[in-house]
Amino acid sequence: MSVKLVEAGQLIELTARYLKENGLVKPPTWAPYVKTGVSRERPPADPDWWYVRSASILRRLYLKGPIGVSRLRKYYGGRHRVGHGAPRFAKGSGTIVRKMCQQLEVAGLVQRADRKGRVLTDKGRKLLNSLSKSLLTKR
């Protein structure tokens, strides 16, 4: 329950740092050059965006899980401008979400739920709870 009490940005930042320092997630070679969806014009400016997005997926799974790649794509989508036409909504990149979920599965933080998407394992829940408790004690 402490994950809901902590500010989302702080928890995601701390989790991203943990994922990077412990080598649980590793960005692929194409990560610095890829856009995160068709609604974006440029790749992310932050060099550690892969870790931040992975941490955000972990938090999302904690709050809403089980959740599939399609729903996560919708969450990370945005407004797509189509030339002279009216802007429309476009989903985020499915490959990025899928690769991150696969890496988190290998790390033991996420597992597949039968025909429902992915859920956090006990190890993943403990990680997010401990990081959020450390943020609460810093207040």
pLDDT digits (tens, 9 = 90+) for 54-98: 999 999 999 987 999 999 999 998 899 988 999 999 999 899 999
CB atoms within 10 A of CB 82: 10
Residue 102 belongs to domain spanning:
2-138
pLDDT digits (tens, 9 = 90+) for 20-31: 999 999 999 999
CATH number at residue 60: 1.10.10.10
Judged against a pLDDT cut of 70, whether residue 129 lies above it is answered with: yes
